[in-house]
Structure 1
Amino acid sequence: MKTFSYSEWDGRQSPFSMSKKDVVDKFMENILKGMNPNMSLADMLWNGFPMAGRNFRVMGLAEMIRELEKQKNELFSKYNLENAFDTPMDEVKSLLEREAQTRRREGLERSPSYDELPPGLMEKLNRLKNFDFQNEDSREVFEKWKSREKDILDLYEFYGQYADQFTGEESLDFDQAVELMRRMQALENLQKQMLNGQLSKVDLQQLQQLLGENAEKSMNILLQLPKTLNEEGITDYNRRTGFTMTPRGMRKLGESAFGKIYQHVKKDRQGNQAGDAPQSGEMEPDSSRQYEFGDRMDLDITKTLLKAITKSDVSQGKVQLSHEDIYVREREQLITSTTVILLDLSWSMSWEGRFEAGKKVALALDHYIKTRFPRDKFHVIGFSTEARELTGNALAMAVWDADEPYTNLQGGLRLAMKLIKKSGNRNNRVIVITDGQPTAYYEGEHLYVELPDQEYGISPNAVKATLAEVRKVTAQGMNIETFMLDNNPVLVEFTHTIAKINRGRAVMCMPDDLGNLVFVEEIKRRGGKI
């Protein structure tokens, strides 16, 4: 049993509590874009992220550094240091004049004059270090400036480094110049610490004074990011590899992808009801569970009403029913099927959010099928110049192949057919997600690559070999749905040719619509509620 302890506000606690969900959501969003865990964390640190649950945006290091630079530039353009040493120099001159008057009046040995001393302020003070002052006021003024030796030396160095950059109209006296110097030093130190990744050295109180409360809150959150992800079981860390995804993290990634598509589908198609699913049998006893997106509406009336009644004011004679109260019964899965996603990993998929959309669909379907239909088989094949199956961590960390820019759909179809045959399922669905025509192919065991014959043209040999493979796998019972993420007429024609041969679906769509289109069909096939 969890125990929670609460204490009265005493002014010491931070008034801002980090939303772990927002942190995990942003981390997963970056992984879906093709970043690895280290890149995702670095992106969050550098660019910040919104915390929707608290109507707050975490400032990233880049924004803080820009704001610090902006403040420095504002100081450069507002002030000048032309008169920074006038006050101490004038006071040293005055103290020497008073000392000379006292010595003349008392008939003592004359004191050195202002012009007889070295020109610099610190040099004058050092020359007077062992001088026996007879005028008490002169002695006090000398001691005052001698005690400020560090300020003088620091301002000397600062003046030599930056005086030319201060071009404003407002002149500063010595004390104002020292204050300006300390502020500039604080701004620069913070910048260097952030640029060098030395976040643990950042003075949070000073950060708040310079950039405000939001910056201080943001830095607190940024400092907790690695710990939060580890505590949530999303990542592990070691010195050699940095951050890596845990098995729990990979499951959460699938849930995240599924949830994002669910929200889109729910918004676009709320209320639609699909027909009966051929793979659903009798309802299993004691199999009731809370309704989730994609489930058949086999309502468990008793449990649903009991849940609603327990939180309703029945004295009013009304029962309030919400989405969270609905329970459904699971059916025995009688018929199994194999689903294979062929995900294009060629370089052009990195454009316009295409890869992110495709990867999101792959992870979401992986989560949906494995959690709802555990007897089914699900595979993801990535194809660029060659094709390979993506499982586990390889799927979670999948990214487009920058070094393998060609598109070998033929190889992907071959591998998909092998996996379907291995599963023993006649029921299959092969989903091709691509944005280009074939530019790589096999003849026997030899791999060839072929650029299009002209701009927006085709690679004739690659297309011919791929369509031959489509005919072959169609004859073996493969059902192909092709989702083309480009509206180039050549690609549209190629996609329709695949559909004509296979008698499957050909869908031209934008990346934002991909998840909706794939999942609506998937849920219809299984008799779920859309």
Structure 2
Amino acid sequence: MIRYCYSAWDGSQDTFHPGPEDVLGNLADYLLEGGDLQKALRMLMQRGMMDRQGRVMPGLQDILKQLRGMKEEHLRQHRPDSVLDDLQRQLDAIVARERQTLDAQLQATRQRLEGLTAAAAPTTAQQQANERRAVQEMEELVTERQAQLDALPPEVSETLRRLQQYDFLDPQARQEFEALLQALQQQAMDALVQTLRQRLQQMTSNDMQRLQQMLAELNHLLAQRAGGEDGDFQEFLQRYQDLLPDDAPESLEELLERLARNMQAMQSLLHSMSETARQELQQLLQDAFPDETMQQAIAELMQHLQSYMQQEGLGEGFTFQGDSPLALPDALRLMERLQGMERLEDALERVLWGADPQQLDEEQVRELMGEEARGQVQALKDLAEQLQHKGYIRKTKDRLELTARGIRQIAYKAMLDIFASIRRDQFGKHSLAQRGSQGQRQEETRAYVYGETFDIHLARTVMNAVLRTAAPPPLRLTAQDFEVYGTESVARCSTVLLLDMSGSMERFSRFTAAKKVALALDALIRIQFPRDTLDIVGFFTYAQTLQLEDLPYLTPKPFGFFPYMYNDMYHNPMGYLDLQIDTADALSGRVDMPQAFTNIQAGLQVATTILTRQHAANKQIILVTDGEPTAHIWEHKICLEYPPSQRTLTETLKEVKRCTRQGITINTFMLGQDYYMERFVNELTKINRGRAFFTSPANIGDYILVDYLSNRRKKVA
């Protein structure tokens, strides 16, 4: 019976765990395209990746897009000016309660007077006079207070200032107003000293005096800092420990940074409001502290913070489009969140432009975007470490580089990618009907012939003896009973893959496709035909042998500007070019020679030299190019000719004839097609009898690997 175990989500049940093979496979595409491992890893982090099950891991670009969407959602939802609306509603409720109390008090006094008048007792005459006087005084008091309330202006800040001078008759209204005033003081201080938030709620008048002293000493420390002096911050912490939270800053710089962040939130809120609302809120916060000494201390502290924020950046406003109301505390928290999003956005953009991804603060990502986004960032930051741990890459002094194991893995994946694009029914057509004694075992069997490999099929051999004798045991075997496995003979082959590295191969990802084919062919030969050999030669203005470990980093030779070349806006040479450079000078570097030309002749010469040292029965050159030759070697000189001349074509075809005389087959794969190219390839195939394929970067791998298999494997009778 299958058992299932369920548990609560704790953030560890990540739905996507890319393995090192998945990481390297996705990394290989960028590496082969640009030839730079560092850049390829950066591209992988930027764009994300997909694992073998088709699950997508977002890249930094996706995370940045998500962050911007979250920020825009906040901006579309809220309206900062509503902060004053919330304060106005609270003040209106307090004033309404006070009016209700005034009316009730006046009504109660009048009722007592009416009661005394109805009694009409002599002993109450004096009492009636006193009550009438009390009613008259109450009426005057109520009239005065009502006049004060009626005269309250529409501005919230002015209403607050006048109510501070008002003597409330209703105790609950007085309590609510004092609570509102204290909350405003708290929010005003939050813009400066958020660490005092909880302390302000229980502050007495003596505590407020100590707060003034603390601000004065803090201003003194900041003034010393501005003058280059070191104040005693630890003594400051000990003296005002009761006013500071448990996680008090350990240094003046840390405190200054906290204060600046809090002030930035208030500045952002003010800058996000309309001009009228901004001025009113500023006045409101200033009036929250009627004491002039406190106002001066706060103003001085703000000056210190503003000078510090000139370096860190002032709190900029945001453009809101929503209608949802905000209370002042919620507005300040929202501003802090939006500023945090902007800081994270800046950090992500810096990483996208090449900064170290390890600088990203995962805790900041978690606070602003959630645990899932934090896990995604952590996974992206760990990509290189994951490849290093698996042994696919290693870190040198100043860069990362592929290991031999990593290159083999990329080659293996390239082979799998190519074969995955080939229909399954294309296989099985590559063997000829010829059987032999050496090669790969087949399931079919045949009678044993003396001299062949004795790979006996025991079951059929015994069955042959039983059928022949039809006698009880013991069973006696003879030579005619032996039946052996059939084998598929594979002749040994030496191959040189000739890759065009001229400047035009950079277009349409041609060289990237060629490199992928080279890696895939190496993996195929290494796995299925280990007795074969494969060498790789790159040709451009001249030719050179390429090592497999260098192949991922190679790029086509760039077009350049030289005194004897005139290039158009597409970097193509303009006009006719006929230039001869001494080979020794060119190869030694004494002459600055352009390298982006196509010297197929030099490539064939290097390939022939390699193949003549091999003793395989079959020798072939696989030529991958996108155009006819534009360079050749003649009398120890490198001749550059553009457009291609007949002389270059003739010298190249002479080298084709030399290859043909040595029994070397040349199979050509053209990444492009035009009249001059077809003419050259037709001449080449007439001379060599090899095959020619006109293909594209998208399917050149299918052509080369299938062609290699179909011409490598044959059955020997």
TM-score class, shorter: 0.7 to 0.9
| SS of residue paired to 2:498 | strand
Q: Residue 389 of structure 1 aligns to which amino acid in structure 2?
A: T
1:517 to 703, 713, 717: 703
| 1:182 and 2:336 matched | yes
| 1:501 and 2:500 matched | no
Q: Following the alignment from structure 1 to structure 2, what is the Cα–Cα distance between the partners of residues 193 and 411?
A: 50
Alignment of 1:207-286 (within 5 A): 208-209=369-370, 213=372, 215-216=373-374, 218-241=376-399, 243-267=400-424, 269-275=426-432, 281-282=437-438
The alpha-carbon deviation at position 526 of structure 1 amounts to 2.5
Q: Deviations over 1:40-93 (max 9, x none)?
A: 21111101112241x421111112212322343454455443444454588789
| 1:201 and 2:200 matched | no
Which structure dedicates a bigger proportion of its chain to helix? Answer: 2
- The aligned counterpart of 2:530 is 374
Q: Residue 181 of structure 1 aligns to which amino acid in structure 2?
A: M
Q: Following the alignment from structure 2 to structure 1, what is the Cα–Cα distance between the partners of residues 652 and 381?
A: 51
Structure 1 gaps of 5+ residues are 1-5, 106-114, 129-133, 290-298, 304-327, 453-457
Q: Residue 477 of structure 1 aligns to which amino acid in structure 2?
A: G
- The aligned counterpart of 1:482 is 668
| 1:156 and 2:266 matched | yes
- The aligned counterpart of 1:320 is none
Alignment of 1:84-95 (within 5 A): 84-85=83-84, 87-88=86-87
Q: Following the alignment from structure 2 to structure 1, what is the Cα–Cα distance between the partners of residues 456 and 47?
A: 47
| 1:430 and 2:594 matched | no
Contact preservation (8 Å) 2:23, 2:383: yes
Identity across aligned pairs (percent)? 24
The alpha-carbon deviation at position 239 of structure 1 amounts to 4.9
Structure 1 residues 440, 87: CA separation in 2 closer, same or farther (over 3 Å shift)? same
Structure 1 residues 194, 238: CA separation in 2 closer, same or farther (over 3 Å shift)? farther
Q: Residue 193 of structure 1 aligns to which amino acid in structure 2?
A: A
- The aligned counterpart of 1:322 is none
Structural RMSD (CA): 4.4
| 1:442 and 2:633 matched | yes
The alpha-carbon deviation at position 342 of structure 1 amounts to 0.7
Contact preservation (8 Å) 2:442, 2:488: no
The alpha-carbon deviation at position 402 of structure 1 amounts to 2.6
Size of the alignment, in residue pairs? 464
| 1:383 and 2:539 matched | yes
Which shifted more, 184-193 or 162-171? 162-171
Q: Following the alignment from structure 1 to structure 2, what is the Cα–Cα distance between the partners of residues 84 and 462?
A: 81
Structure 1 residues 19, 71: CA separation in 2 closer, same or farther (over 3 Å shift)? closer
Contact preservation (8 Å) 1:78, 1:166: no
Q: Residue 36 of structure 2 aligns to which amino acid in structure 1?
A: N
Contact preservation (8 Å) 1:98, 1:138: no
| 1:420 and 2:611 matched | yes
Structure 1 residues 270, 300: CA separation in 2 closer, same or farther (over 3 Å shift)? farther
Q: Residue 358 of structure 1 aligns to which amino acid in structure 2?
A: A
- The aligned counterpart of 1:352 is 508
Structure 1 residues 65, 412: CA separation in 2 closer, same or farther (over 3 Å shift)? same
Q: Following the alignment from structure 1 to structure 2, what is the Cα–Cα distance between the partners of residues 398 and 267?
A: 33
- The aligned counterpart of 2:199 is none
Contact preservation (8 Å) 1:450, 1:461: no
The alpha-carbon deviation at position 343 of structure 1 amounts to 0.9
Q: Following the alignment from structure 1 to structure 2, what is the Cα–Cα distance between the partners of residues 436 and 136?
A: 90
Q: Residue 362 of structure 2 aligns to which amino acid in structure 1?
A: V
The alpha-carbon deviation at position 399 of structure 1 amounts to 2.4
Q: Following the alignment from structure 2 to structure 1, what is the Cα–Cα distance between the partners of residues 8 and 389?
A: 27
- The aligned counterpart of 2:198 is none
The alpha-carbon deviation at position 482 of structure 1 amounts to 0.8
The alpha-carbon deviation at position 254 of structure 1 amounts to 1.5
Contact preservation (8 Å) 1:96, 1:138: no
Q: Residue 237 of structure 1 aligns to which amino acid in structure 2?
A: K
| 1:166 and 2:319 matched | yes
Contact preservation (8 Å) 2:265, 2:339: no
Contact preservation (8 Å) 1:288, 1:300: no
Structure 1 residues 459, 146: CA separation in 2 closer, same or farther (over 3 Å shift)? farther
- The aligned counterpart of 1:296 is none
Q: Following the alignment from structure 1 to structure 2, what is the Cα–Cα distance between the partners of residues 301 and 25?
A: 42
Contact preservation (8 Å) 2:269, 2:331: no
Q: Following the alignment from structure 2 to structure 1, what is the Cα–Cα distance between the partners of residues 331 and 714?
A: 72
The alpha-carbon deviation at position 412 of structure 1 amounts to 0.8
- The aligned counterpart of 2:677 is 491
Contact preservation (8 Å) 1:236, 1:244: yes
